[in-house]
Chain A
Amino acid sequence: MKRLFCLLALMVAVILVGCGKPDFSDAEKKTIASLALNTLPSLKPDTTNRIADVPAAAALGSTLFFDLGMSRDGTVSCSTCHKIDRQFQDDLPQAVGVGRTNRRTMPLAGVARDPWFFWDGRRDSLWAQALTPLENPLEQAGNRTAYAHYIKTRFGERYERIFGPLPDFAGIPLNASPLGNDAERAAWNAMSDPQRDAINRVYANIGKAIAAFERSIEPAQTRFDRFALDLATGAEPKGDAVFTREEILGLKLFIGKANCVTCHNGPRFTDNSFHNTGVPPVADLPPDRGRVDAVAQVEADPFNCFGAYRDGDASACGELRFMVKDAPQLVRAYKTPSLRGAATRPPYMHAGQFSSLDEVVAHYAKAAPSVEGTTEIHPLQLSDRERAALVAFLRTLTE
């Protein structure tokens, strides 16, 4: 009798130990290894921005990033929404600059590796992106000649050491922009072509300096990366690299049955592409159709890769050159965000539609039809335990 109980206890112990130890197939191990941060290649040079890796430019860019003077009324800077102590985002469903915008602020870790910027990809370089909020009436609400005057007055010497001489400001209006109010647009139109070009060049250089700073913001190692490295090398995980059974189940679902990894792939957990996943609109916001409306905007942007303000040659413009311009899949398609750090920065989706990761996972499991266009996701049977496990795994991408 006693021996029988010993045998049963031993069997139970073996089963429990077996459950706690990660058991992955070779294919799963390969996928897990492809998600680890150590597979992130070093940052490619940005040939469209010749000062992208110049330290003095990054220093000027960081000054501008945090400078409240870079707005119409001196109350907003890039860092108002991209908060340095909050993963360079602001925890709000929609960003608030001078006014309330229509979209969620994106975090900046690894941003220099994106081919497209904003949720809809309406800009094609980090420096062209950095210029856009400066003139957006809801964000920094400034205008182009005001920024150029400000740079000359406050940072003229630093600017000229990086970019060479500033242009002649004689006859340049204090407030003028092709995107401003009626008076600013009229003032812009009254300028000569060489004047407009000179101001655009200063303006582009502001974006290039800010981009040089933003390039330094890279994703940090997490528990998942330590776990994945141990799994790949066969080392015994120690400390926080040991995953719980729930986290292992979540990881298995993420790369298996739940299909998350098809879009959230690579060491940044994003395919850098745009998808309609049936995320519902926000009732009191203007209509938002995502990528389909961004195509014309990026083509019309004078600061895009084909434009006159790019450094280097057009061989860097492959993304813009081969961009999908007209396809049903672009309707309500939004960028796949990186999942690194996501667990500690609710709310989620392009306008903060979901307040928790549980809601996000529930949305993807349900796969409701999109209000416009066709969702790419399919309904999925996930138990409560499986949904919780997925969220537990996502948390390992944060700590």
Chain B
Amino acid sequence: MASIWRYLLAGVGLAALLAGVLAVVYLTAPQSAQTVGPDVSRTKKTDNGLYMASFVPERGVVRQGELESWLLTLKTKTGASVERAAIAISGGMPQHNHGLPTSPQVTDYLGDGRYRIEGLKFTMSGWWQLRFAISSGAGSDTVLFNVVL
């Protein structure tokens, strides 16, 4: 009888040791990039600081798998609306080696520096990138937005 309790005690001791080792491994493991995630802010200064760009879905929500229309608002450093800018859109999913599934385009200028971007489509969940190359009287600059679905 006593020997069984000894074995049981040894078992509990070994289990505690294992749990301790696992806890150390878990707590000291490097944080993976996924838990941090990319910067998903929708208002950003362009890369060279020429413009302030904000990017919002026109309907307010993003629906996966549907053609979407978003609004891009461009202001200069002094807060003036950027009129008649030429805008090229590119992007894709950096983790899947593919670009965008559609070719979104600027289809309308709505005034006050607001441009309608049509033909966006997010076909899968995950990390998407949208890059805008902007050119106007104030100069040429780029901005990258991250969208995580």
Contact = CB atoms under 8 A, between A and B. Distances in A.
Given A1-B1, A262-B124, A376-B96, A322 B65 contact: no
Would you call the interface of chain A mostly helix, strand, loop, or mixed? Answer: loop
A318 B67 contact: yes
B4 A4 contact: yes
Given A325-B103, A376-B96, A271 B1 contact: no
B49 interface: no
Instruction: Output the residue of B103, B124, B126 with the most chain A CB within 10 A.
Output: B124
A262 B97 contact: no
Given A318-B67, A318-B119, A322-B118, A262 B99 contact: no
A322 B70 CA distance: 14
Interface string B108-139: 00000000001101011110000000000000
B103 A322 contact: yes
B105 interface: yes
A329 B90 CA distance: 13
A265 B4 contact: no
Contacts of A4: 4, 8
Interface centre among B8, B67, B92 (most CB of A within 10 A): B67
B104 A322 contact: yes
A324 B125 contact: no
- Which residue, of B67, B100, B101, B126, has the highest number of chain A Cβ atoms within 10 A? B101
B98 interface: yes
B64 A265 contact: yes
Interface string A286-328: 0000000000000000000000000000000011011111010
Contacts of B119: 318, 321-322
Nearest to B92: A329
Contacts of A263: 123-124
B102 interface: yes
Interface in A250-274: 261-263, 265-266, 271-274
B92 to A, nearest CB: 8
Interface string A363-380: 000000000001110000
Interface residues of B, number: 24
Given A322-B118, A324-B103, A265 B97 contact: no
B96 A271 contact: no
Interface in B1-44: 1, 4, 8
Contacts, number: 60
A318 B124 CA distance: 19
Contacts of A321: 119
Q: Determine which residue in A263, A322, A376 has the highest number of CB atoms from chain B within 10 A of its CB, and name it.
A: A322
Main secondary structure, interface of B, reads loop
A8 to B, nearest CB: 10
Contacts of B104: 322
A275 interface: yes
A322 B102 contact: yes
A167 to B, nearest CB: 36
Contacts of B97: 329, 374-376
Contacts of A271: 65, 101, 123-124
Given A265-B64, A271-B124, A318-B118, A327 B102 contact: no
A324 B100 contact: yes
Given A266-B64, A322-B118, A261 B99 contact: no
Contacts of B105: 322
B102 A323 contact: yes
Contacts of B67: 318-319, 322
B65 A262 contact: no
B148 to A, nearest CB: 13
Contacts of B100: 324
Contacts of B65: 265-266, 271-272
Given A318-B67, A322-B104, A376 B118 contact: no
Nearest to A322: B119
19 contacts: A4-B4, A261-B125, A262-B96, A262-B126, A266-B64, A273-B124, A322-B102, A322-B103, A322-B104, A322-B105, A322-B119, A323-B102, A324-B102, A329-B92, A329-B97, A329-B99, A374-B97, A375-B97, A376-B96
Give 7 closest A-B pairs by Cβ, nearest first: A322-B119, A271-B123, A329-B98, A273-B123, A322-B102, A318-B67, A262-B124
Given A329-B97, A376-B96, 7 more contacts: A261-B125, A266-B64, A271-B123, A322-B103, A329-B92, A329-B99, A376-B98
Interface of B: 1, 4, 8, 64-65, 67, 92, 96-105, 118-119, 121, 123-126
